[in-house]
C-alpha cells in the first residue's frame, strides 16, 4: 500500500506458495475518504479471483452476487466512520493484553469510538468482552463488571442480531457469571456458525469444552483457532491449558512458551508457563519463570505452588498470604487452587465455597482443574460440582 495525501494505491497479489507462481494481481487507486468502499471492492475482487484460481469458478452474475453478499456479511457490525474504526482497532490491540492499564485503555478507546458512532455494533461487542475480562481478572468488581459486559453485549445484538462477536460476548457472560453452560454453548456455536473463520469465537468455544471436560472437542476448536490466527498469544495459552487437562504436558509447555514469546509483557503467560514446567517436575526452572509474571494474582499463585514443591513452606505461605490479603475479594478460586496443590483439603473446599458465593468466574474451571485431584475422593467434591452444574 502506498499513500500520498488523500490518495492510496493498493496492490493485491495472489501467489501459489508451493510453486511460487504468480496467479493474479490488481492495482487499486482510490481516495481515502471512501476507504471502506475500497476495502469492500478489494475484498470482492480477491474472493472472485480465489474462486477462479482455486475452484475453477468463473465470474458470472450469480457468483458475483454471492461474493458481494459474502463481503456484506463480513462487514456486519462495522462502522462507516474511519476515525471510529481506527479507535476500535486500537482498542482491540489493548484488549488482548491482560493488564489493568491495557484493559482500562481498551475501554477508553471503545467508548471514544462509540461516542462517534453509537451504532457501532462491533465496538459494543468488544467493549463487553473487555468488561468481562476485567471482572474475571481482578481489575473490576465481579458483579459490576459483568453487568456492564451484559449491557454492552445486548446493545451489540440489538443493533446487529447476527453479529458473531455479539453472540460470543453474550456466551462469555452465560459461562462466566450466569454459569448457564447450555446457553453459553448455544451462543458460541451460533457465533461459529455465523463466522467459522473467527478465531476468537473458536477459542471461546474451546474454553467451554475445557470447562465441561470435553477435551477432544476443545482440541478440535483450538486447533482451528490457531490455524486461523497463529500469532494470538491468548489462543496459544488456551491451547496449553487444554493440553494440561489432557495430560500432554510437553505440548502444554510448548504452547505456553509460544504465548510468552508472542506477548512477553502481557499478564498470565509467564505464570502458566511456570506452572506447566512445575507439573513437569522442574520446580527450580519454574520459579525463575514465575518471577517474570506481571499479574499479581498469578504471580503469587505460581510462587506459592512452586515453593511448596521445593520444600520451602515459609516462602509458600508468604506468597499465599499475599494472595489472600490483597485479592481475596476477586481470587478466591486461585486461593483454593493453591490449597488444593498443597493437599490442604479442608482449606481448598473453604475457598471453593467462597468462590461460589462471590460468583468468581474462575469457579467454572473446577471440574477439569488438575490441582483439585486430591479433593475428588471427598464426598464434598461431587456436591460442589452439582452446585456448579458441572456434575
| pLDDT one-digit tens code per residue, 293-350 | 999 999 999 999 999 999 999 999 999 999 999 999 999 999 999 999 999 999 999 9
pLDDT at 32 over 90: no
CATH number of the domain enclosing 142: 1.25.40.10
Cα 204 to chain centroid distance, Å, stands at 6
Whether residues 86 and 116 fall in one domain: yes
Whether residue 181 sits in one domain with residue 94 = yes
C-alpha distances (whole Å) from 268 to each of 104, 167, 263, 271 are 17, 25, 10, 5
Q: Which pLDDT score is estimated for 198?
A: 93
Domain of residue 184: give its range: 81-195
- Contact present, 8 and 14 (Cβ < 8 Å): no
Whether residue 69 is found in the same domain as residue 106:
no
Cell triple for residue 131?
Answer: 468488561
Same domain, 179 and 155: yes
| In a shared domain, residues 92 and 137 | yes
Judge whether 332 lies within some domain: no
Q: What angle do CA 110, 114, 118 make, to 5 degrees?
A: 155
CB 224, CB 239: distance < 8 Å: no
Confidence of residue 60 (pLDDT cuts 50, 70, 90): low
DSSP conformational letter for 129: H
What is the tens place of the pLDDT at every residue in 170-196? 999 999 999 999 999 999 999 999 999
CA–CA separation, 371 and 337 (whole Å): 6
CB 289 within 8 A of CB 305: no
pLDDT 10s digits, 152-173 = 999 999 999 999 999 999 999 9
pLDDT category, 221, cuts 50, 70, 90? Answer: very high
pLDDT band at 58 (very low <50, low <70, confident <90, very high): low
Report yes or no on 214 lying in a domain. no
Residue 250, domain member (yes or no): no
pTM value is 0.85
Residues 119 and 141 in one domain: yes
Could you give the number of structural domains in the chain?
2
CB 113 within 8 A of CB 120: yes
Picking from 74, 104, 136, the residue at the C-terminal end of a domain is: 74
Q: Beta-strand (E) ranges in the chain?
A: 2-4, 7-16, 21-31
**Per-residue pLDDT tens for 124-155?**
999 999 999 999 998 999 999 999 999 999 99
Dihedral of the alpha carbons of 306, 309, 310, 316, in degrees to the nearest 10? 60
- Same domain membership, residue 163 and residue 108: yes
Residue 309 domain-assigned? no
In a shared domain, residues 85 and 68? no
Per-residue pLDDT at 66 exceeds 70 = no
362 closest CA partner among 274, 268, 221: 268
Q: Is residue 188 located within the same domain as residue 88?
A: yes
Residue 307, in any domain of the structure: no
In a domain, 85, yes or no: yes
Residues 57 and 103 in one domain: no
Beta bridge partners of 16: 21
Compute the average pLDDT of residues 51-66: 67
Rg of the chain over Cα atoms, rounded to whole angstroms, equals: 23
Return d(Cα 344, Cα 372) in angstroms, integer: 10
Q: Of 180, 195, 210, which closes a domain?
A: 195
Is residue 286 in a domain?
Answer: no
Pair 186, 87 in one domain: yes
Q: Is the dihedral of CA 156, 162, 168, 172 positive or negative?
A: positive
CA–CA distance, 380 with 362 (Å, rounded to integer): 19
- If asked whether residues 91 and 27 sit together in one domain, one would say no
Length of the chain: 391
The pLDDT of residue 62 is 52
DSSP one-letter string for 61-80: HHHHHHHHHHHHHHTTT--S
Of 151, 174, 195, the residue that ends a domain is: 195
Q: Is residue 348 part of a domain?
A: no
Nearest to 55 by CA among 71, 67, 43, 65: 67
Residue with cell 500432554: 248
Q: Which of 42-46, 200-204, 332-336 has the lowest mean pLDDT?
A: 42-46
Amino acid at each position: 500500500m502506498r499513500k500520498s495525501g488523500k490518495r492510496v494505491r493498493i496492490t493485491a497479489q495472489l501467489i501459489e506458495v508451493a510453486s511460487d507462481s504468480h496467479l493474479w494481481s490488481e492495482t487499486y487507486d482510490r481516495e481515502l475518504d471512501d476507504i471502506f468502499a475500497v476495502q469492500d471492492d478489494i475484498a470482492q475482487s480477491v474472493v472472485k479471483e480465489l474462486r477462479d484460481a482455486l475452484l475453477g469458478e468463473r465470474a458470472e452474475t450469480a457468483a458475483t452476487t454471492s461474493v458481494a453478499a459474502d463481503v456484506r456479511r463480513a462487514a456486519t457490525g462495522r462502522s462507516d466512520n474511519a476515525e471510529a474504526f481506527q479507535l476500535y482497532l486500537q482498542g482491540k490491540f489493548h484488549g488482548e493484553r491482560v493488564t489493568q492499564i491495557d484493559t482500562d485503555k481498551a475501554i477508553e478507546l471503545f467508548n471514544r469510538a462509540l461516542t462517534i458512532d453509537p451504532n457501532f455494533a462491533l465496538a459494543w461487542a468488544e467493549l463487553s468482552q473487555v468488561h468481562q475480562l476485567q471482572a474475571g481478572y481482578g481489575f473490576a468488581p465481579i458483579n459490576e463488571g459483568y453487568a456492564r459486559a451484559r449491557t454492552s453485549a445486548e446493545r451489540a445484538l440489538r443493533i446487529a442480531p447476527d453479529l458473531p462477536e455479539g453472540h460470543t460476548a453474550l456466551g462469555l457472560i452465560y459461562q462466566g457469571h450466569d454459569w448457564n453452560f447450555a446457553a453459553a454453548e448455544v451462543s458460541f456455536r451460533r457465533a461459529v456458525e455465523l463466522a467459522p473463520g473467527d478465531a476468537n469465537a473458536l477459542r471461546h468455544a474451546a474454553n467451554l469444552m475445557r470447562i465441561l471436560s470435553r477435551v477432544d472437542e476443545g482440541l478440535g476448536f483450538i486447533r482451528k483457532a490457531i490455524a486461523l490466527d497463529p500469532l494470538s498469544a491468548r489462543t496459544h495459552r488456551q491451547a496449553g491449558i487444554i493440553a494440561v487437562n489432557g495430560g500432554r504436558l510437553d505440548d502444554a509447555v510448548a504452547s505456553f512458551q509460544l504465548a510468552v514469546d508472542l506477548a512477553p509483557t502481557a499478564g498470565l503467560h509467564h505464570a502458566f508457563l511456570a506452572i506447566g514446567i512445575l507439573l513437569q517436575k522442574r520446580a527450580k526452572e519454574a520459579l525463575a519463570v514465575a518471577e517474570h509474571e506481571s499479574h499479581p494474582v498469578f504471580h503469587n499463585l505460581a510462587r506459592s505452588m512452586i515453593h511448596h514443591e521445593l520444600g520451602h513452606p515459609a516462602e509458600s505461605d508468604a506468597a499465599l498470604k499475599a494472595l489472600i490479603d490483597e485479592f481475596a475479594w476477586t481470587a478466591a478460586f486461585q486461593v483454593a487452587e493453591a490449597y488444593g496443590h498443597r493437599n490442604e483439603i479442608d482449606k481448598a473446599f473453604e475457598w471453593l465455597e467462597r468462590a461460589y458465593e462471590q460468583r468468581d468466574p474462575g469457579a467454572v474451571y473446577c471440574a477439569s482443574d488438575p490441582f483439585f485431584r486430591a479433593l475428588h475422593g471427598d464426598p464434598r467434591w461431587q456436591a460442589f460440582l452439582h452446585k456448579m452444574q458441572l456434575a
